[in-house]
Amino acid sequence: MLADIFHVFNYFIFLYVIIVDGFYLLLFLLSFKQVKEYLKQSPYSEIKEFSLSNLTTPISILVPAYNEEKTIVHSVYSLLQINYPEYEIIIINDGSKDGTMEELQREFSLSELPIYALRKQIDTHPVRKMYRSTKYPSLIVIDKENGGKADSLNAGINFSSYPYFCSVDADSMLEPDSLIKAMKPMFEGGENVVACGGIIRVVNGCTVENGYLKKVRLPKNKYAISQVIEYLRSFLMGRIGLNSLNNLLIISGAFGIFRKREVLEVGGYSVSTVGEDMELIVNLQKHLYKQKSDAKVLFVPDPVCWTEVPEDFRNLSRQRTRWQVGLLQTMITHKDTLFNPQYKSMGLLAMPYFLFVELLGPTIELLGLIFVTFGLFFDLVNIPFAVLFFTFTLLFGVFLSVSAILLEEYSFRKYEKVSDLLKLLLYSILENFWYRQLNAIFKTWGFVRYFKKDTGWGVQRRKGFNVDQTSKSSFNQH
């Protein structure tokens, strides 16, 4: 009896792995095709023309900040140097307990503004004060009571003046042309794009000067390097692949552009989830289906946002369990869309993908490992078969990681040194023997956290950007 159950489970795992790996292979091929198309267009698209044109739609950049004293100044400087004709930066200090507000005051000479008659379109926690920088008039700081990231973004939307907004994390930096590249589909597509996301890359290890990324290098920390590969896989393969199927259900909270009208129509960011970025996109997609609109949510692979990633076990586990809780909350909230033909490919493909691959996948993989070990112990497993199957899954994992590096090398080549490439290739093998399993454990723990109703954000410790010290003096002269 036990042996029968065991065999059935084994077959299930076997089939599951084959289907999921097949889907990943499909995503890789689709991504390759889409990147190729994108590269065909990029050499002659005149970014400069858009950045000088009166037709370029103005945009509000919203930066929610909670305890970001180590990175906030560099982030703001990187935003001030963006190449875009008309934009405003709204920093929302979400009741930080550290020196975030003081850092902003000191560096940008903030002057208090009367909170003018505001169209409060979304309910938020009370705003205490509002400031404008006397050095940079386009910089506005809102100081509000703590209500979480989603609440801060909603407050930012209330204060924003322009028809589009861009959400950027306070521990992230945009490249100067990122905004214009991400907005380009909006100019070209006219009314047909409601949201657009760009690629997130790992800033750890890179050198930052005056808010600019001076040198792109790989981090030395093993957690961070593994995340470099993971981000490449996730964005260059996953997002681009899903985008080509018009099934994008997530735009990273670290960098995404939205048309305000639709976001207001769906009630802004949801404050009841820790995965507010995915929740918003799923809400928007549902809204578009219900409206029978042909508008799209897009992913563009070139606009880059550089973000700081956790470099230790504790912070990584917090972040990953939180992501898993957010995903689970969204899947539960929108369970009505699963296999629902009313939502077409979203209901029949994207949501099942997120359920079976992204949400349950790591846990199924972990259970598979446990069962195989258990089977080996009780002699229930065909040893040659188990060894070969295990080797196959590991090798396929390596293949996917190397494929992501191949896509990167084929397209944007941010890491110039051969030594960096060799390191990436080495880690694409190594990560399959520890990081992948670690992630599976974190994500499985996410279920426990959810059922224990421990669904808060937790404390995320920042290390800060790797600042070029020689540039500090010129930085202060701005």
Any idea how long the chain is?
Answer: 478
Shorter beta-carbon distance to other proteins: residue 119 or 452? 119
The CB-of-144 to other proteins minimum distance in angstroms stands at 20
Told to check if 4 binds other proteins by CB under 8 A, we report no
Total site size for other proteins, rule CB under 8 A: 40
Amino acid symbol at 81:
Q
DSSP 49-108: HHHH-TTSPPEEEEEEESS-TTTHHHHHHHHHT---SSEEEEEEEES-SSSHHHHHHHHH
Q: Which residue's entry shows tokens 């963006």?
A: 82
134 touching other proteins, by CB under 8 A: yes
Applying CB under 8 A, which of residues 2, 4, 97, 117 lies at the interface with other proteins? 117
Query: Which range binds other proteins by CB under 8 A, 74-82, 112-120, 283-291, 340-348?
Result: 112-120
What the block records as the tokens of 235 is 């964005």
Q: With binding defined as CB under 8 A, does residue 418 bind other proteins?
A: yes
If binding is defined by CB under 8 A, does position 23 make contact with other proteins? no
Q: Give the DSSP letter of residue 272.
A: T
Residue 146 or 382 with smaller CB distance to other proteins: 382
Among 204, 247, 270, 403, binds other proteins (CB under 8 A): 403
Q: Is 422 in the site for other proteins (CB under 8 A)?
A: yes
CA atoms within 13 A on the CB side of 422: 3
For residue 362, give Cα distances in angstroms to 250, 279, 324. Answer: 19, 21, 10
Task: Tell whether residue 5 is a contact of other proteins (CB under 8 A).
Answer: no
Q: Which residue lies nearer to other proteins by CB, 9 or 457? A: 9
Q: What is the spatial distance between Cα 422 and Cα 413, in angstroms, rounded to a whole number?
A: 13
Region binding other proteins by CB under 8 A among candidate stretches 205-213, 272-280, 378-386, 451-459: 378-386
Residue closer to other proteins, measured from CB, 109 or 207: 109
Return the residue of 86, 102, 123, 188 that touches other proteins, per CB under 8 A.
Answer: 188
For 261-316, give the DSSP string: HHHHHTTSS-TT-S-HHHHHHHHHHHHHHHHT---EEEEEEEEEEEE----SHHHH
User: Does the footprint of other proteins cover residue 292 (CB under 8 A)?
Assistant: no
Residues 104-116 as b or e (16 or more Cβ within 10 Å = b): beebbebeeeeee
Using CA atoms, how far apart are residues 269 and 94, in angstroms rounded to an integer? 15
3-state secondary structure of 245: coil
Site string for other proteins, 72-111 (x = CB under 8 A): ---------------------------------------x
* Residues at the interface with other proteins (CB under 8 A): 40-41, 43-44, 46, 49, 53-55, 111, 113-114, 116-117, 119, 134, 188, 190, 382, 384-385, 388-389, 391-392, 395-396, 398-399, 402-403, 405-406, 409, 413, 416, 418, 421-422, 425
